């Protein structure tokens, strides 16, 4: 069974990985490994300025995708 993150969960009130919570708890300049097998998110990263990125695996390479807390809310 796959884990769903808060972005791709098909359920209204259920998901395994709360990306917004992970991002909020990150200190600037740090990343946290998560694994959503559905959308291939491998990690959440916050840079020194507090900008948030999702690290996704695309064709065996990690791509950083800029995002915001609002977008991570389910």
Residues that bind Zn ion in the complex, under the rule CB under 5 A? 5, 8, 36, 38-39
Question: Is the CA virtual torsion 60, 64, 65, 70 positive or negative?
Answer: positive
Comparing CB distances to Zn ion, the nearer of 28 and 39 is 39
Shortest distance, position 48 Cβ to Zn ion, whole Å:
26
Q: Please say whether the beta carbons of 19 and 53 come within 8 A.
A: no
Comparing CB distances to Zn ion, the nearer of 23 and 36 is 36
Comparing CB distances to Zn ion, the nearer of 39 and 73 is 39
């Amino acid at each position: 069974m796959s884990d769903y993150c808060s972005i791709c969960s098909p359920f209204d009130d259920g998901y395994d990985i709360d990306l917004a919570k992970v991002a909020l708890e990150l200190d600037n300049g740090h990343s946290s490994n998560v694994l959503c097998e559905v959308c291939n998110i491998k990690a959440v990263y916050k840079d020194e300025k507090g900008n948030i990125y999702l690290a996704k695996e695309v064709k065996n390479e990690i791509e950083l995708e800029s995002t915001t807390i609002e977008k991570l809310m389910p």
